[in-house]
């Protein structure tokens, strides 16, 4: 079963079939529009999302996120998750990790940027809102480390949770952009091996098709300021130049999704990846999966990691937390 939720009306390509599935509509506010335009300007000025030099992009993104608030009212413990550095984050009201419910968070950043610092805020927000431990991992980056290093690190982190006392039914895997790609790929790997599956998966602004075949890559080209075919090619070449873009080990759209656990997908209506997102959601649904798809008006790629600047980021993160709570076997005490 799939549920499509159109969170408001706004620019972007929405198919008739998708619109027919929409179960809830809330209009975008003027404040939301103003906030997203200010964010676009900030990102452009930062140099974090443009230019051919990936090391400069990485440094610019680190500098930008270092200027933002760190997570509040949480505790953080550095861990070695099967050889992968990570931060285990939990609500500050507790003296030790919850040890029962966990969210494995895989950061975005085109496989070439992102770190424990850049995504500490969203990870901390989810820990508090979901009353769960969040494992934020510092997987190896491209181009220094090419595929399958990133996927292998994500799999290693998931297995660390399983061997650290967390039941699969109390683990949700989440991520945004290429982090969402990794979240999906961890599950596809588990399906191939008939391994324990997480309770659910959250894919925020996922990249599911590096072959760039989605219609909205052209239709939304003018409304998406950062993601396009050229950007997908740049990311692909940086981490997997020697592999075909349709390889299911890195483009989940081409994988076997039969048996996929409950899935929440969030995508912005302005995203060039909107059509790819709809197609992947439909593929999981056709395979018998339970999919909740949210299309947020006026939102751009990866908006969820900016809750300190966007009201819609805070709202979307809260929905992620509620989705996780709904699928944990052991619910948090109210």
Which residue numbers are catalytic? 177, 271, 301
Q: Which two tokens stand for residue 256?
A: 């076997």
Q: Which two tokens stand for residue 115?
A: 């770190």
Q: In this structure, are residues 6 and 295 in contact, taking their beta carbons and an 8 Å threshold?
A: yes
Name the phi and psi angles at 218, rounded to 5. Answer: -95, -45
Q: Which long-range contacts (CB under 8 A, 24 or more apart) does 93-100 make?
A: 97/133, 98/131, 98/132, 98/133, 99/133, 99/165, 99/166, 100/166, 100/167, 100/170, 100/330
Q: In this structure, are residues 301 and 268 in contact, taking their beta carbons and an 8 Å threshold?
A: yes
| Spatial CA neighbour of 207 closest among 140, 281, 273, 111 | 273
- Give the end-to-end CA distance of the chain in Å, rounded to a whole number: 28
What is the chain's alpha carbon radius of gyration, rounded to the nearest angstrom?
Answer: 18
Q: Which two tokens stand for residue 5?
A: 């939720």
Q: In this structure, are residues 86 and 137 in contact, taking their beta carbons and an 8 Å threshold?
A: yes
| Spatial CA neighbour of 185 closest among 160, 153, 213, 214 | 153
Task: Count CB atoms within 10 A of the CB of residue 237.
Answer: 14
């Amino acid at each position: 079963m799939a549920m499509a939720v159109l969170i408001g009306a706004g620019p972007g390509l929405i198919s008739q079939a998708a619109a027919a599935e929409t179960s809830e509509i809330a209009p975008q506010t003027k404040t939301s529009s103003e906030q997203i335009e200010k964010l676009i300007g900030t990102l452009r000025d930062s140099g974090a999302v443009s230019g051919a030099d990936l090391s400069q992009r990485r440094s610019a993104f680190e500098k930008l996120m270092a200027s933002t608030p760190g997570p509040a009212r949480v505790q953080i413990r550095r861990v070695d998750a099967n050889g992968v550095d990570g931060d285990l984050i939990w609500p500050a009201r507790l003296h030790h990790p919850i040890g029962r419910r966990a969210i494995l968070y895989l950061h975005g950043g085109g496989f070439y940027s992102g770190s424990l610092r850049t995504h500490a805020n969203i990870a901390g927000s989810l820990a508090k809102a979901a009353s769960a431990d969040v494992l934020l991992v510092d997987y190896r980056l491209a181009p220094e480390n090419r595929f399958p290093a990133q996927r292998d690190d994500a799999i290693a982190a998931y297995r660390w949770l399983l061997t650290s006392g967390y039941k699969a039914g109390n683990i949700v895997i989440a991520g945004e952009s290429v982090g969402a790609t990794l979240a999906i790929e961890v599950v596809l790997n588990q399906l191939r091996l008939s391994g324990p599956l997480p309770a659910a998966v959250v894919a925020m602004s996922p990249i599911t098709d590096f072959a760039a075949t989605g219609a909205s890559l052209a239709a939304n080209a003018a409304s998406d300021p950062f993601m396009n075919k050229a950007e997908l090619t740049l990311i692909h070449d940086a981490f997997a130049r020697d592999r075909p873009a349709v390889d299911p080990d890195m483009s989940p759209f081409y994988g076997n999704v039969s048996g996929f656990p409950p899935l929440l997908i969030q995508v912005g209506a302005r995203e060039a990846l909107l059509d790819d997102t709809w197609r992947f959601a439909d593929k999981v649904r056709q395979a018998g999966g339970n999919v909740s798809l949210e299309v947020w008006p006026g939102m751009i790629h990866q908006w969820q990691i900016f809750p300190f600047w966007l009201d819609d980021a805070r709202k979307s993160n809260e929905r992620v937390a509620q989705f996780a709570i709904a699928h944990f076997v052991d619910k948090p005490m109210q």
